[in-house]
Chains A and B, each alone.
Chain A
Amino acid sequence: AQSVSQHNHHVILSEAASLELGCNYSYGGTVNLFWYVQYPGQHLQLLLKYFSGDPLVKGIKGFEAEFIKSKFSFNLRKPSVQWSDTAEYFCAVNGNDMRFGAGTRLTVKP
């Protein structure tokens, strides 16, 4: 069965710290991978996506993610977080259907 795991429920960082949020999935076939972000009081927005090609994808606001097929992982990274990055982050995988992880709440302290 297809599933998505996000390892961190809540991450607290200081501004300028580096960020890495883990995402692993289980699915035997070809997948498309996404990271969505939900800022407080706002809609879910697409941060970045991977369909094919270069496994290192760059998204908006300085975020990037790397698809490692052998590890079934699609971790999200940002070299230096800002207070405005405080939000809920969801990893999603599209194989048979669209599956989301449970989300990681990121709090950035000013």
Chain B
Amino acid sequence: ETGVTQSPTHLIKTRGQQVTLRCSSQSGHNTVSWYQQALGQGPQFIFQYYREEENGRGNFPPRFSGLQFPNYSSELNVNALELDDSALYLCASSLDYGLAGYEQYFGPGTRLTVT
């Protein structure tokens, strides 16, 4: 069974640029959630995708957007990068949709640094 994988591992971008982060779900999982984890903080929910549709969103501006593909892999796109976007971005997959009552499996994360 393949776990959740994310790419790239590390990324350095300049303020104002755009970035795309990628996630491959654990085999058989149809739901993907994205989180932002700032240094010294817990993960903050960005949004969730179920069967290619956004299924819930946290308190993040529209410049954070996502996609889920038919194979359930996913992308997180961030436009107009700001310094405060520097963080570890985590992807988590799970078997069932819905924001309640499911077990998530996390990837190793992508460390984004905005200069």
A residues neighboring B (CB under 8 Å): 4, 6, 30-32, 36, 43-46, 49, 51, 90, 92, 94-103
Residue B44 interfacial (CB < 8 Å): yes
Is A103's CB under 8 angstroms from B41's CB? yes
Compute how far the CA of A35 lies from the CA of B108 in the bound complex, rounded to whole angstroms: 18
Q: Which of B12-20, B64-72, B75-83, B98-106 contacts A (4 or more CB under 8 A)?
A: B98-106
Interface size on B, residues (CB 8 A): 27
Shortest Cβ distance from residue B87 to the other chain A in the assembled complex, whole angstroms = 13
Residue B42 interfacial (CB < 8 Å): yes
Compute how far the CA of A94 lies from the CA of B48 in the bound complex, rounded to whole angstroms: 13
Is A102's CB under 8 angstroms from B42's CB? yes
Is B99's CB under 8 angstroms from A96's CB? yes
Chain B residue numbers with a CB within 8 Å of A102 are 40-42
Shortest Cβ distance from residue A7 to the other chain B in the assembled complex, whole angstroms = 14
B109 nearest in chain A by CB position: A43
Compute how far the CA of A52 lies from the CA of B57 in the bound complex, rounded to whole angstroms: 25
Is A101's CB under 8 angstroms from B42's CB? yes
Residue B45 interfacial (CB < 8 Å): yes
Compute how far the CA of A45 lies from the CA of B3 in the bound complex, rounded to whole angstroms: 12
Is B56's CB under 8 angstroms from A97's CB? yes
From A46, A51, A101, give the contact of B104 (CB < 8 A). Answer: A46
B residues neighboring A (CB under 8 Å): 3-4, 33, 35, 40-45, 48, 56-58, 90, 92, 99-109
Is A98's CB under 8 angstroms from B107's CB? no
Is A94's CB under 8 angstroms from B101's CB? yes
13 contacts between A and B (CB under 8 A): A32-B100, A36-B106, A43-B107, A43-B108, A44-B106, A46-B103, A46-B105, A92-B42, A94-B100, A96-B99, A98-B33, A98-B45, A98-B99
Please give me the 9 A-B residue pairs with the lowest Cβ-Cβ distance, nearest first: A100-B42, A44-B106, A32-B101, A100-B43, A43-B106, A98-B45, A102-B42, A97-B45, A97-B99
Compute how far the CA of A90 lies from the CA of B105 in the bound complex, rounded to whole angstroms: 14
Instruction: Given the known inter-chain contacts A90-B43, A100-B44, please indicate yes or no for A44 contacting B90, CB distance below 8 A.
Output: yes
Compute how far the CA of A44 lies from the CA of B60 in the bound complex, rounded to whole angstroms: 22
